[in-house]
Structure 1
């Protein structure tokens, strides 16, 4: 008795199909990466604005507790109203406190 070997239909991707998929993924990456890079500055600026508002809230808490405005960010750190790593915006810009307690970004 002879058995006839029957090959199953082996389907898969050809090299050309794989190259087309890689090309499409590459094009999508080339489109997406510059847009993300452009938005990083915008994200850092919004992070700085939010951080400034948080520090402004801490200045108000300082004023309520001690009945005066802090002279500097360092004084707020020393008195425990800010941590050592909370003295500058995420984008590196420094903050300063005016005599009226207004927090501003030093350019």
Structure 2
């Protein structure tokens, strides 16, 4: 008898364990997707706020709009990864605008 390999039963047990782990893990990831997207949007808004302050330091004035930050090269994107957009107040405060 050759004892160098796995038997068919051993391989099926390993596949069963992997399948059970995937069945448990995937629904939890899907449930957390909204929370992940929201946190990503909050992080994007903080990054935009930092770029607004950088613009204010460079130009000695607040930007008129988010689009101005994009055209001046301070931003590459003007919306969150989940599709929400960000708005800019006249005092340079950034807020998230849901879609």
Q: How many residues are aligned here?
A: 97
How far is the alpha carbon of 1:20 from its aligned partner? 1.9
Aligned to 2:46: 53
Asked whether 1:30 is paired with 2:23, we answer yes
> Please, what TM-score do these two structures have when normalized by structure 2?
0.85
How far is the alpha carbon of 1:41 from its aligned partner? 2.1
Aligned to 1:99: 90
Whole-Å Cα distance in 1 between the matches of residues 92 and 31 of structure 2?
34
Give the unaligned 5+ runs of structure 2: none
Give the unaligned 5+ runs of structure 1: 1-8
- Based on CA coordinates, which of the two structures has the bigger radius of gyration? 1
> Please, what TM-score do these two structures have when normalized by structure 1?
0.80
Whole-Å Cα distance in 1 between the matches of residues 43 and 81 of structure 2?
10
Q: Helix, strand or coil for the counterpart of 1:13?
A: coil
Q: Helix, strand or coil for the counterpart of 2:32?
A: helix
